[in-house]
Structure 1
Amino acid sequence: MTVHPLVTAGFDTPFGDLHVLVSPEDSVVRAAGFRPLRDVAAGLPSVLAARGWEAGEMPHVEHAVDAWLDGDADAVTTVAVDQPGGPFFQEVWAALRSVPGGEVVSYQELAQMAGRPRAMRAVGTACARNGIAPFVPCHRVIQSGGRLGSYGFGGTSVKAAMLEHEGFRVASHSPDASVTVAR
């Protein structure tokens, strides 16, 4: 069986360039983020990284990103994704994909959604290790009390801008900023 390189594409967004890596045999997103391609690819498991990558088309991802940018906040969570992680991380990432666009959850709420109500710190670790943003929308997780919190995919300004795009008002783009619904 021939092993093909991963396919990569970049998408211009108001939040910065979104780089995506997809396995061509199943069209599953394996890595994505608002960082340089080499940094996004660095999160790949070694067996996938060894395949290398080449620029190509991924119309299903392009359609989802365009729909998201046009206001369908749930479009990015319809794309098939896969990333390595233990059962708890997989549960957290699945729970994240169930948070509707235009809503946010706290780390504590996400822990409850994942079936581990006292695992807030572990949920934070799962969010930090998510290598498929925004398709696993960890930008929708905020601290208790409505504070923005950090964001490893480009900093709090990127997180704030994505939340504003999805209908929230952010007082400032610092981690201590509060997030309020502006409907």
Structure 2
Amino acid sequence: MRRAIAAVDADPGASLDALAAAAGLSPAHFQRVFSAWAGISPKRLGGFLALGHAKRLLRERRSVLDTALDVGLSGTSRLHDLFLRWEAMSPGEYARGGEGLRVRHGTFDSPFGPMLAMATDRGLCGIAFAGETGAAAALADMAARWPRAELREDRAAVAPHVAALFAPRAEARLHLIGAPFQIKVWEALMRIPSGHVTTYGEIARAIGKPKAVRAVGTAVGRNPVSFLIPCHRALRASGALGGYHWGLPVKRAMLAWESARLERAGACEPVAGG
């Protein structure tokens, strides 16, 4: 599916026959498999992947974070979102660079390409998408965030945490490892409902630091748990995608995937107050 999304992203107007041929499938089988995963046709997903889609999201479904909470768009009531139980590493633990912490990791398939998942005994602490960087570079990037932690490859231990990631209404446990300011930003990101977006400026205001837009952008980029902490839902005030640590094609694919699921559920109305 990642290759199919990349093909649609490269040419949103590509024919079904061409996409199916590139995937090595018959057009009918490709359409069934693609629609089962995305919930819509490749042609419709092409519209969501177009560069203008992010601007439409910002204009039509901008999320004011506190309002999203007020109308119940958090926790188990967020359509197609996971229910996240999370706890943060203490500032002292963070300052020690993860010393004494055992982090297990493994590589898994995902709708957005190969995914590195990392977990402590308290929950998922890292998710990286390695399609653009490669698995070794993704692991080195994540490991550098907690230089004194003990890293151990143990796919079986991480697999139960990964199993629920792309299933609706499931529960995941997170162990956030970051500086206090970063964790405040990541907590704000977790308030953004699926299928909605916000801006770096709105996040800064939501955490009570309206002038810290640049610092917020840096913290968004340092999010260690991609997708679950939805930094892909943060855009520039202009509606431009901005950067994305694991590559802009992944960010566009995530926004398109969420929009497709919401459209299929008939839940595309704007957030009240947004």
What is the TM-score with the length of structure 1 in the denominator? 0.74
4+ residue runs of structure 1 moved beyond 4 angstroms? none
Tell whether 2:131 aligns with 1:31: no
Provide the rounded CA distance (Å) in 1 between the counterparts of 2:139 and 2:203: 30
SS of 2:124 mapped into structure 1: strand
Displacement after TM superposition at 1:109 (Å) = 0.7
Query: Which structure features the higher share of strand residues?
Result: 1
Aligned amino acid, residue 143 of structure 1: R
Q: 1:145 to 1:44 in 2, by over 3 A?
A: closer
Provide the rounded CA distance (Å) in 1 between the counterparts of 2:231 and 2:259: 16
- Of 141, 145, 152, 2:234 maps to 141
Identity %: 30
Provide the rounded CA distance (Å) in 2 between the counterparts of 1:167 and 1:125: 26
Provide the rounded CA distance (Å) in 2 between the counterparts of 1:53 and 1:112: 40
Residue in 2 that maps onto 1:178? none
Q: 1:59 to 1:13 in 2, by over 3 A?
A: closer
Displacement after TM superposition at 1:60 (Å) = 4.4
- Of 150, 164, 178, 1:84 maps to 178
Provide the rounded CA distance (Å) in 2 between the counterparts of 1:19 and 1:104: 25
Displacement after TM superposition at 1:128 (Å) = 1.4
Aligned amino acid, residue 161 of structure 1: A
Residues 7, 21 of structure 1: 8 Å contact kept? yes
Q: 1:4 to 1:142 in 2, by over 3 A?
A: closer
Residue in 1 that maps onto 2:220? 127
Provide the rounded CA distance (Å) in 2 between the counterparts of 1:141 and 1:124: 9
Name structure 2 gaps, 5 residues minimum.
1-99, 261-267
Q: 1:96 to 1:120 in 2, by over 3 A?
A: same
* Root-mean-square deviation over aligned CA pairs: 2.6
Provide the rounded CA distance (Å) in 1 between the counterparts of 2:141 and 2:125: 10
Residue in 1 that maps onto 2:146? 45
- If asked which structure has higher relative contact order (CA below 8 Å, sep 6+), I would say 2
Residues 6, 54 of structure 1: 8 Å contact kept? no
Tell whether 2:118 aligns with 1:21: yes
Provide the rounded CA distance (Å) in 2 between the counterparts of 1:51 and 1:166: 32
Query: Which structure features the higher share of helix residues?
Result: 2
Q: Which structure has the bigger radius of gyration?
A: 2
Name structure 1 gaps, 5 residues minimum.
169-180
Residues 31, 43 of structure 1: 8 Å contact kept? no
Question: CA-to-partner distance for each residue in 1:81-119, whole Å, 9 max, x for gaps?
Answer: 31122x211110111111111111101011111211121
Q: 1:96 to 1:162 in 2, by over 3 A?
A: same
Tell whether 2:103 aligns with 1:12: no
Question: CA-to-partner distance for each residue in 1:24-62, whole Å, 9 max, x for gaps?
Answer: x32x112221022523542441232x3433222335422
Aligned amino acid, residue 9 of structure 1: G
- Of 252, 255, 265, 1:160 maps to 252
Displacement after TM superposition at 1:157 (Å) = 0.8
What is the TM-score with the length of structure 2 in the denominator? 0.51
